Structure 1
Amino acid sequence: MTQKMITYEYDRITDIKRLKFIASHLQQEIPAGGRVLDVGCGNGVISRHLGQFGYDVLGIDISQKTIDVARSKNTLPNVRFEAISAEALTAQGERYDAVICSEVLEHLDRPGELLKVIYASLKDNGLLVVTVPNGQGPRELCVTRPMLKARNHPAFWKFINKVKSTLGFKGTTVQSQADNLDHVQFFTRKALLDIAKEHNYRIIKFAKTNFVEDVFPFSLLTKRIKFLQKLDCEVAEILPIGLTGGFNTLWKKKV
């Protein structure tokens, strides 16, 4: 029997690394046909990727714009998308074998509230996958935080956007069409451990993402040369975890 070719909608190596992390660990714990909830699914890239492995996937997001994009790209009968909040979905009493919360918590003023909702939606032996940027990592320190501060200076912010446009940076992501993608939380490894414990989870695995490939001016080269992206991800693996650009993590409920 010929093995099905798995495709990737992401182009960046670190994004593909994240997809592989999610899919490989789901395959270890959740059989094909298992029910997966992708919270804050954005354009549905992760949902569609997991659908290729035979999972019954529901991707949800509060942005109708992103859900419209996700639906327009979907061809898998075992993957569907709904513009609904996690709270409203939980009220329906559904429970899932796995929940994906990828690049979501950093955008929330009260991430603990979402973790409570996910707890109610996840089966007792289920798997929660959480990925977030490292709040003290190279990109958050050198790009994200300075850019947030620059917005307070309109003339300077206009100049920055002009330079970014000239250099070919569009300011959009493959992950989501949402209007506001600001980071308001900056998680360290300890902060993740603390919030997990506070909401009755235990983190069973921390994995690294990249190092500096998405930090200007390195990004001018790495966005065009895939080998440098791959090398950067490999460098991240040998550096202390505090220097990683992000955390890929696995969580279990305390029951």
Structure 2
Amino acid sequence: MTNNGPVTYEYDRIADRKRLDFISAAVAERAGDKASVLDVGCGNGVISRHLGQLGFNVLGIDVSEQAIARAKELNTSPRVSFEVLSAEQLVAQGNTFDVIVCSEVLEHLHQPSSLLATLHQSLKEDGILVVTVPNGTGPRELLVTRPVLKMRAKNNWLWRLVVGVKKSMGYSGTTVQSAADNLDHIQFFKKSDLETLSAENSFRIIRFGKANFIEDVFPFSFLAKRIKALQWLDCKVADVLPYRFTGGFFSVWEKVR
């Protein structure tokens, strides 16, 4: 692995950088100079481009043409490429990888096991799968995501009020990671759910990591958005609290042999 210059971050939030550092460290531990990395559901390609900076050869795939178009537009690394492609199509081509990254993807799928079964086929026998997902019973999902989804489904005066207040406070509803049209969460994973899901698809989880604590919950989010020190502190607090309090799970999976 080679890195010819200072590493920069496209992510501004400390929690996002923490996730990116976890992924990068996991890839670096397992991958050598010629290792192949697949970024599944890569969105706008932030993770792929970061790994490219570190010297890895990365293919980012997504079924969203809009997201891949943005990823290609932003890409300047010859080590990184992007394609509008499903994981199933990749298997049909017979390609396998040393490392597969599946970051903030499974929570959007009706049948996450279908993707995991496909990724199992795409992963080399001694490879690793790096998975990150929100904690389905963590502060953000319980206090923000689920209530917002319920309000939006009703589309009543309360939802319109929330939208108006968010816009007035600078919350656009967009994400750096993806330009896809639909980013709804339809799966809410506990730590035990991930362990069960991995076992059902012939994986075992060999490492867990934690994201942040309450930074994503209003009104803390309003302050933390403007004060980086609060974001940093919130991530440190998450590290010492039990897993059920983290906003998200980072994990490294390997095939069951």
TM-score between both structures, scaled by the size of structure 2:
0.97
- 1:2, distance to aligned residue in structure 2 (A): 9.3
Supply the AA of the counterpart residue of 1:99: I
Alpha-carbon contact 2:3-2:55 (below 8 Å) kept: no
C-alpha distance in 2, partners of 1:97/1:2? 19
- 1:4, distance to aligned residue in structure 2 (A): 2.4
User: Which runs of structure 2 are paired with 1:67-106 in the superposition (5 Å)?
Assistant: 67-106=68-107
Q: Which residue number corresponds to residue 107 of structure 1? A: 108
User: Which runs of structure 2 are paired with 1:129-168 in the superposition (5 Å)?
Assistant: 129-154=130-155, 155-168=157-170
Alpha-carbon contact 2:3-2:53 (below 8 Å) kept: no
How much is the aligned-residue C-alpha RMSD, in angstroms? 1.2
Supply the AA of the counterpart residue of 2:71: A
- 1:165, distance to aligned residue in structure 2 (A): 0.2
Which range moved further: 156-165 or 140-149? 156-165
C-alpha distance in 2, partners of 1:42/1:26? 19
Which range moved further: 157-166 or 180-189? 157-166
Q: Which residue number corresponds to residue 172 of structure 1? A: 174
Q: Which residue number corresponds to residue 237 of structure 1? A: 239
Q: Which residue number corresponds to residue 10 of structure 1? A: 11
Alpha-carbon contact 1:35-1:98 (below 8 Å) kept: yes
SS at match of 1:144: helix
Q: Which residue number corresponds to residue 124 of structure 2? A: 123
In the alignment of these two chains, the number of paired residues is 255
- 1:25, distance to aligned residue in structure 2 (A): 1.5
SS at match of 1:236: helix
C-alpha distance in 2, partners of 1:167/1:23? 33
SS at match of 1:152: helix
Alpha-carbon contact 1:133-1:246 (below 8 Å) kept: yes
Supply the AA of the counterpart residue of 1:59: G
Q: Which residue number corresponds to residue 64 of structure 1? A: 65
SS at match of 2:137: coil
Residue 198 of structure 2: which of 181, 196, 201 is its match?
Answer: 196
SS at match of 1:117: helix
User: Which stretches of structure 1, 4 residues or more, deviate above 3 A after TM superposition?
Assistant: none
Supply the AA of the counterpart residue of 2:104: E
| Unaligned runs of at least 5 residues, structure 2 | none
Alpha-carbon contact 2:87-2:115 (below 8 Å) kept: yes
| Unaligned runs of at least 5 residues, structure 1 | none
